[in-house]
Structure 1
Amino acid sequence: MAEPVAATVDRLRGRAGFLPVDAVAGLADDGVLVLDPFSTLVSPGVALAAGVTLWPGTILQATGDGRIAIGAETQLFPGTRIVAAGGRVSVGTMAEIGEEGGFTIKADQPGNLVEIGSGARLLGGGSLTLCNSIGDGAQVLGPIRMQNCRLQAGGSHREPDPDRRGGVLKGSGVARGLTVPTGMVIQAFGLFSEDDLRPQTFFHPKPRE
């Protein structure tokens, strides 16, 4: 007799290191909103705080000694993939990851650490690999491949004073080994460079009093 489809799906999920469908749906008991447990893949041991929203098509994969922790009220939009294969990924509270094209975050070597602060916003199909520190309120806007970068903390994109917002990368291309201070932004289409740092008021002038 053929194996029921649901049992087959759960068996294959388990072979790949993911929870069965019922266990993903059961995350609701801990206050996690899973909008489609059938398309959402979560590894055992991933730490999800109450109020996290997992949109359809999100993947949270932790293998070996890898660790993933997602803070309260954070939203992971469709196409978000977070992988910790020997490394560690931590996301603070009220972050927004993956809107407008998904986002990939990988800590796939021992010692890799990716830290994403509270109120950070990562969108537009970009990626973080190796070690990265995305401070509170910092933003990555666009398909930018980041390695070993640091965006300093500040207010979120809702902060009315651009000089107080977290660091921002916007555009498309590759960013390696960069530090973006609070209130600053690099816009590039190609290879990002600290030579292109500008104050965020260049793009968002302060209202005249």
Structure 2
Amino acid sequence: MAHERLDEHRRRHGYRTFAEMAELAETNTIFDLGSTLIAKNAEIGSGNVFYPGVIVHCDGGGCVIGQNNTFFPSTLLLAEAGGRIAIGDACTFGPGGVQIKANRPGAELHVGDRVRVLNGAEIVGSSVLGSGSQIIGAVAAQSVRLGAGDDFEGPDPDTRGAVLKGFGLARSIWLEAGDVVNGSGDFAAAPVERQLSYHPRVAR
């Protein structure tokens, strides 16, 4: 009976019921069916890992999630008012709480493969996070474009995906592969550097 009452609340707000979550868990890892909320109309691939407290909310928007992604606790995906979120494969969201919001008409938020977003980052607006890119820290990223490249374990920092790190507002910033901006308040005032200045090349 308790699940029936909770399922009614879930249906009313567009989320999957417990039975539908259990079905989703046949091809994905969902540690806690009770605290994880996933929209009924969200398209979910296989091999994803959802920790407790993850919310995928699509109300008047669209959300597509690929395969083998990891969503740590307190990750929020919000697609509303015609906004769309598309996530590729093998990405990591969190730990530290992450918010990804396409909640305005026309907002398109694309995340490539092997992307890392963690430590309190918030992404809004029409943004593109190319494969291998990273946003690290309490960064409010608005309509940014991060160039694609190798992931953070790639041997040459100059060919890794672009990086925003630090804290503060990053608005309308476009970076190429190998670029990094380390912001402390207003990212517009921070220089664009090369990742090689922070990480040496890895000998093979």
Say yes or no: does 1:11 pair with 2:5.
no
The 10-residue stretch of structure 1 (170-179 or 45-54) with the greater mean CA deviation from structure 2:
45-54
Question: Which blocks of at least 5 consecutive residues in structure 1 are unaligned?
Answer: none
Among 164, 167, 176, which residue is 2:162 paired with? 167
Q: 1:103/1:50 Cα in 2 relative to 1: closer, same or farther (>3 Å)?
A: same
Q: Distance in 2 between matches of 1:119 and 1:139?
A: 9
Query: Deviation digits for residues 109-147 of structure 1, max 9, x if unmatched?
Result: 121000001000000111111111000000000010011
TM-score by length of 1: 0.93
Tell me if structure 1 keeps the 8 A contact 2:155–2:203: no
Deviation at 1:208, TM superposition (A): 7.2
Deviation at 1:149, TM superposition (A): 0.5
User: Where does 1:70-149 land on structure 2 (aligned, <5 Å)?
Assistant: 70-85=65-80, 86-99=82-95, 101-149=96-144
Tell me if structure 1 keeps the 8 A contact 2:69–2:89: yes
What is the root-mean-square deviation of aligned Cα atoms in Å?
1.4
**Letter of the 1:15 counterpart:** R
Among 51, 55, 71, which residue is 2:51 paired with? 55
Deviation at 1:193, TM superposition (A): 2.0
Q: Distance in 1 between matches of 2:131 and 2:102?
A: 19
Among 180, 186, 193, which residue is 2:188 paired with? 193
What's the % identity of the aligned pairs? Answer: 33
Q: Distance in 1 between matches of 2:189 and 2:172?
A: 9
Provide the aligned length of Structure 1 versus Structure 2.
Answer: 203
Q: Distance in 2 between matches of 1:32 and 1:207?
A: 34
Tell me if structure 2 keeps the 8 A contact 1:186–1:193: no
Deviation at 1:28, TM superposition (A): 2.2
**Letter of the 1:7 counterpart:** E
Q: What residue in structure 1 maps to residue 22 of structure 2?
A: 25
